Chain A
Amino acid sequence: MSTRETRPGSTGGEATPGPLHGGPDEDYTPEQLAAMRREELDLLGARYDGVEILHVDPGPEPGSATEKRAVRQVGWTFALAGVFAFLFLVVYVGSGWFLPEWSWAEEGTAWSALFTPLLGLFMGLSLALVGAGLVLYTKKLLPHETAVQDKHDGSHFDRVTTGATLVGGYHNSGLPRRKLITRSLGFMGVGVGVMLLAPLGGLIKNPNTGNPLGRTSWAEGVRLVRIDGSPVRPGDQEPGSLETVFPAVPGGNFESDAATMLIRLRPEQVLQDEPREGQADFSYGDYVAYSKICTHAGCPVSLYEQETSRLLCPCHQSQFDVTQGAKPIFGPATRSLPQLPITVDDEGFFVARSDYIEAVGPTYWNRERI
């Protein structure tokens, strides 16, 4: 033990060589190690790591036919990987230089449609061949050893000593006795924690000011316009047609809740039409207008089957019947699509008579209260 107590540098700068790490360095002197072969050293180190080599299938004999074949395979695999890497570069760099332009054009030169596939093909082949070569190398040319490594359970000694150190430190801090400090530490912890999280409060906004969820840009006298901004007259649509209309306000065609389906019913549908209670006068002649935003998850409901009067939502397949006030008849939606009351203004164009009388779009907690 005496040599270990002398730490280098602690003796006033005298250059006394210290031991390396103890342990194996004590067991094996440099002279002993120098006398050992490399294989022995490898196994010796492995044994120190709890690994025992049970069995080694040596690789192919040097110079044997098997080895030559394997070397050829591996060599060609790597060479081919290099070739494909080079081809990738040729395609990548050469397009637009000595090869046709890569950039895509509407009429699509054959090369522009080949550029990306060729890049993928060459890079994919190149990298996959690198991998294949490495695996072939390990499988065919390296010796196969079967090693066993011990698994150790936890050490009781370590547990006890570590526990003693931890508990000792806690005990020495006096915290178990000094209740005031414990309590103030707890208080401080909560306070600092909340303080550090508090700036996230900047994310919070009040969703209830101005009733944004219950209101759209539709209002009395707002014209129904198409996506290009042109207004709609009653004569414009055929029976059995659907037009997506937007409120005639700036940016109306990008509003998330305002999109409305203006549907002209066929005469048979008009006869079957049973509007929701109190909404009989929301339609204009054979025209009805329903919100396009699904009451389930907010997708635009716009698959209109004019013969079966169904509106289908492509996201979750809710189906609504336009002759029954757009009542849901299949799928996960629970509420009818809100109906927009419409009429015609002095110039003969469709206008809204008011906003939707209920919130459009998906259901939420306090929707009924808005």
Chain B
Amino acid sequence: MAARTATAPGAPTTKLGKAGYEIDDRLIVAGPVRRTLNKVFPDHWSFLLGEIALYCFIILLLSGTYLTFFFQASMTEIIYDGSYDPLRGQEMSIAYASTLDISFDVRGGLFMRQLHHWAALLFVASIVVHLLRIFFTGAFRRPRETNWIIGVVLLILALLEGATGYTLPDDLLSGTGLRIISAIILAIPVIGTWAHWAVFNGDFVGTEIIGRFYIVHVLLIPAILLALIAAHLLILVKQKHTQFPGPGRTEHNVVGNRLFPTFAGKATGLLFVVFGVCAALGGLVQINPVWLWGPYNPAMVSAASQPDWYVMFLDGSTRLFPAWDINLPGDYTIPALFWPTLVLPGILFTLLLLYPVIERKLTGDTVSHHLLQRPRDVPVRTSLGMMAIAFYLVLLISGGNDVVADKFDISLNAMTWAGRIGLVLLPPIAYVITYRICLGLQQHDREVLEHGIETGVIRRLPHGEFIEVHQPIGPVDEHGHGQLAYGGAPVPKKMNQVGAARRAIRGFFSPVEEPTAVEIDQRAEGRGLSAGESDRELTTSGRPSEGGRPSDGGRPQDPRD
């Protein structure tokens, strides 16, 4: 066969080409590779949020592997004899001592530790932002419910991964956190003590827990995360991306850039930017300075002991929850701790997991959707989302309410009560306000479509009345009302957005072009107001470039009725 291809017309002549043929002879990958390279990705910034999370995960795997070379997950007590004077001679666990060694006795170890921790914080933060984008644009609707569920599970696993990692150094802060985890497990009704004995191999703190959390942190959860991320991406590729409505965009296509080379270039660039940001934070901003916290002792604690930000909302709910133990007959108790730490997140994450199903049931919308929605067009969902965010933010701030109280000189007890009241009052307020804003924005879109864009030009009519001239953005009927229907895409609201502005003069800090030359340029191109002064017809089209660049958004081509 090699002989055949070598003599066939169009056979490769370069070395690289021949090598490619050799590979394809063996693996037959040319077809799939071409299909992959030709895959079209929509070009919108919000589609890169999930990628940030993905790249954080890669950074976490790399830096985490490095840390395992030095970290020892043992709770055996030793006397510290490392470089850090203020702790030398102190009794501490090997886990803590090896963390100190990474920080002070491994060249570049502190940098890697901090890089790992910052990447972890960024990982969860970018997952949350990605989730919000998916939620508010309706990207979770059929057929993407599965990927939504996988995504939420990824978030939960990321939280568990973070919480176990937070515990590993066995310092005074993480030990306090572990103590609370222990109390939470104990608080489970009926099986609490049994569950605690299973997890800790006995009473708090025992000698096993760091080792167990370690293997969960470095093997179990990362493996599941990896598998689920793979599934998440495979489903994404199989289902293809969603896209925002715009010219030429339908439920049956994807408009954007092909993977190679444009999208690949940008995505790789983003990988390096994420890596760069994590590295810069890892070196320049100190995170979790465990040497200041000291070794764990169950009798010691510090003011303002908090978990990392992603678990802080649960600490907040625990602080706000009233002292309500439920005493059952037979001297059994359901501890107050059970509700805010297990029941509440259980409810929250169940609601989050099932949201696509809930919305489908409520709206009866079972059709497949590949075009996204603007948040304003779905006021109920948007308002529900803002309500959830308000609820979450109250919990999050309450998780650090002692720091807020201290820094802003507010009474701690007042902070607790503000949190309790805010938790009940703020979400409905957020709902109502968001709903109003959505309706207002919707109405304004319709208004602009009907009457045109405000030009800021005031004209006096013959009978003395002053009116503002509006620029219609589409064909008008005999009354001057626009005939375009709203199509789910952004409506231009400023003259600049319909090409009235001069092209920006290039140059970031100082102009690199002559302004006059640009103006002459534009007159030649027929762009900008100065060009329009002569004969430009602004009334027929949303954007001058329309059709050429659908990715700009703008007016839909087929008005709906």
Contact = CB atoms under 8 A, between A and B. Distances in A.
Interface residues of B, number: 119
29 contacts: A31-B9, A31-B10, A34-B9, A45-B34, A48-B34, A51-B258, A116-B108, A123-B279, A124-B280, A125-B276, A127-B276, A128-B273, A131-B274, A135-B269, A135-B273, A144-B262, A203-B199, A253-B299, A254-B77, A257-B204, A293-B298, A298-B182, A330-B413, A334-B324, A335-B325, A361-B204, A362-B182, A362-B187, A365-B192
A365 B193 contact: yes
Contacts of A33: 9-10
Interface of A: 17, 21, 30-31, 33-34, 45-46, 48-49, 51, 54-55, 69, 92, 95, 102-106, 116-121, 123-135, 137-138, 142, 144-153, 203-208, 212-213, 227, 244, 246, 253-257, 259, 292-293, 296-300, 302-303, 314-319, 328, 330-335, 361-369
Interface of B: 1, 4, 8-10, 31, 34-35, 38-40, 77, 83-86, 104-105, 107-108, 110-111, 114-115, 176, 179-180, 182-184, 186-194, 196-199, 201-205, 240, 248, 251-258, 261-262, 265-266, 268-284, 297-305, 315, 318-325, 327, 330-337, 340, 368, 370, 401-402, 412-413, 416, 512, 548-551
B183 A296 contact: yes
Contact of B336 (A92, A135, A334): A334
Contacts of A102: 107
A332 B186 contact: no
Contact of B284 (A124, A300, A317, A365): A124
A155 B262 CA distance: 31
A46 B259 CA distance: 12
B205 A148 contact: no
A83 to B, nearest CB: 14
Nearest to B258: A147
B40 A51 contact: yes
Contacts of B335: 334, 362-365
A333 B323 contact: yes
B331 to A, nearest CB: 4
Given A116-B111, A317-B416, A362-B186, 4 more contacts: A106-B86, A120-B282, A125-B276, A142-B262
A334 B186 CA distance: 15
* A17, A254, A293, A298 pick with most chain B CB within 10 angstroms: A298
Contacts, number: 326
Top 6 nearest A-B pairs (CB, nearest first) are: A120-B283, A124-B280, A128-B276, A34-B10, A131-B272, A134-B269
A104 B111 CA distance: 13
B407 to A, nearest CB: 15
Contacts of B199: 203
A66 B268 CA distance: 24
B319 A21 contact: no
A103 B105 CA distance: 7
A95 B186 CA distance: 50
A139 B270 CA distance: 13
B193 A213 contact: yes
Contacts of A46: 38, 258
B303 A303 contact: yes
A333 B319 CA distance: 9
B179 A207 contact: no
Contact of A363 (B34, B321, B325): B325
A56 B303 CA distance: 61
Nearest to B188: A365
A205 B31 contact: no
Nearest to B550: A146
A363 B298 contact: no
B193 A300 contact: no
A46 B276 CA distance: 35
Contacts of B201: 203, 205
Contacts of B413: 317, 319, 330
Given A128-B276, A297-B184, A317-B416, A212 B202 contact: yes
